[in-house]
Amino acid sequence: MRIASRGTRGNAEGGETIRMQPDSSEDDDPAPQAPALRSTVALDGDGSCIAEARRLAATFLARAQVEYGLPVSARAMDLTQLVVSELVTNARKYAPGPVLMDLRIVDSLVEVEVWDSDPVLPVARAADAQRVGQHGLEIVRAVARGFEAQRESVGKRITARIPLADTPDDAAGGTQMP
């Protein structure tokens, strides 16, 4: 599985090391481009993994900004942590065992990819202001520039893409969907 092949593995108990490294797995395009930055972590499926995932995402983006000079808006930082929180919460809630989280910066986006062991793909429910809870997928799809859910040979992989820099649409409160 692609997301387990790069970066470092850790757990919610601590002791993980965050390494950011160029991602050379996308060698199909012969045109030279800036390398994609990537960090992968395995999180225990316990309750502390959600806060740990948010912290790891914030650290990843902060390091991308400081060490690589990438523009990361406060909005991108907040939305990335929100998306990570929602996706890891869903993985923990619906799938037993560990959760893999892969963060990549590709072009002007941060890709948040979460893998879990449950092969059932999430389905967005119809909007219902009276419903308590179960709005996570609605939230992710509303704030992400792109969203994919893909069944894997074991489990599933959910990917959300968030722009690093604010756009005029963001300032007006709109979000572009693919």
pLDDT digits (tens, 9 = 90+) for 82-95: 999 999 999 998 89
pLDDT at 12 over 50: no
- The mean pLDDT value for 98-123 works out to 95
Q: Is 46 helix (H, G, I), strand (E, B) or coil?
A: coil
Confidence band (pLDDT; 50, 70, 90) for 10? very low
- The mean pLDDT value for 142-150 works out to 95
The domain spans of the chain are 35-171
pLDDT at 41 over 90: yes
pLDDT at 159 over 50: yes
CATH, domain 35-171, list 2.40.50.140, 2.60.40.1180, 3.30.565.10, 3.40.605.10: 3.30.565.10
Residue 107 φ/ψ, nearest 5 degrees: 55, -120
Instruction: Kindly state the tokens that stand for 30.
Output: 């012969």
Instruction: Kindly state the tokens that stand for 68.
Output: 């690589």
Q: Give the angle 94-84-103 at the CA atoms, nearest 5°.
A: 115
State the residue for tokens 């419903």: 131
Model's pTM, two decimal places?
Answer: 0.75
Query: Are the beta carbons of 10 and 55 closer than 8 angstroms?
Result: no
d(CA 40, CA 24): 14
